[in-house]
Amino acid sequence: MDSTSADLSLTLIGGPTVLIETGGLRLITDPTFDPPRLYQTAPVHFEKTIGPALDAEAVLPLDAVLLSHDQHLDNLDHAGRALLPKAGAVFTTQAGATRLGGETIAGLAPFETAILDVPGKGRLFVTAAPARHGPPGIEPISGDVVGFLLGRDAPGDLLYVTGDTVFYDGVAEVARRFSPRVVIVFAGSAEPRGRFHMTMDANDALETAGAFPGATLVAAHTDGWVHFKESAADLAAAFATLGIAHRLARLEPGRPKVFPA
């Protein structure tokens, strides 16, 4: 198979969960498949308002899960956790790999690259990207998070998934090192405690667009939870206001969108 001819297909399932298909390989980001519900967890209560566009069985088989972090229910819920053993591999933070355990769980440090090689489907370079889940100093509260870069012919040449992060020096460093065709920004301006945003807001997403001038951006993690303060429509309006609506491709839940090679 000529890897350079592989299209990229993205299907938004809900929240941070996106099905990625390329060259026969199937991966998913932060699996969340629970129905709408209120999670009574301390110190933050999570309230989910929209269920997944596809159920967990519909995304199988999966060659890999790209799990930005395991410690927050809006990135890994109960049904998503049950899906992990059904995937060929799970890539996540080093701390998360220790917590989750299992032979298929791989913890990656920022800028560390693993190879996903599936017979009959080809291979992908999977590179961990730095992420900061909020303002400086948030790490003891939010815990470790990673983003991911996927590469066909070289690390990071296909797709960048930011994971739960704001725009900061770590994201800028990703832009200096890699040139992905598509960037999935985890946006929504999540404010679970009402003090500061812990995922990208519109300004962060616009900064990301500027840092990756050759990439098409798509948004995930914008709707379906009470603590999201900016919707996908809000983000699209911000891009349109600045005359760069063409840089942002909208994903309709449950409908694959193909990004040709």
Please tell me which residue, 157 or 135, carries the higher pLDDT value.
Answer: 157
Does residue 1 register a pLDDT over 80? no
pLDDT tens per residue, range 138-178:
887 778 999 999 999 999 999 999 999 999 999 999 999 99
- The crossing angle, in degrees rounded to 10, of helices 232-241 and 202-211 is 60
pLDDT of residue 4: 41
| Structural domain span for residue 165 | 3-251
187 band by pLDDT with thresholds 50, 70 and 90: very high
pLDDT of residue 134: 80
**Residue 258: inside a domain, yes or no?**
no
**Residue 50: inside a domain, yes or no?**
yes
**Residue 117: inside a domain, yes or no?**
yes
Does residue 45 register a pLDDT over 80? no
**Residue 260: inside a domain, yes or no?**
no
The structural domain count of the chain equals: 1
**Residue 259: inside a domain, yes or no?**
no
**Residue 257: inside a domain, yes or no?**
no
Q: What is this structure's pTM?
A: 0.94
Domain at 161, CATH number: 3.60.15.10
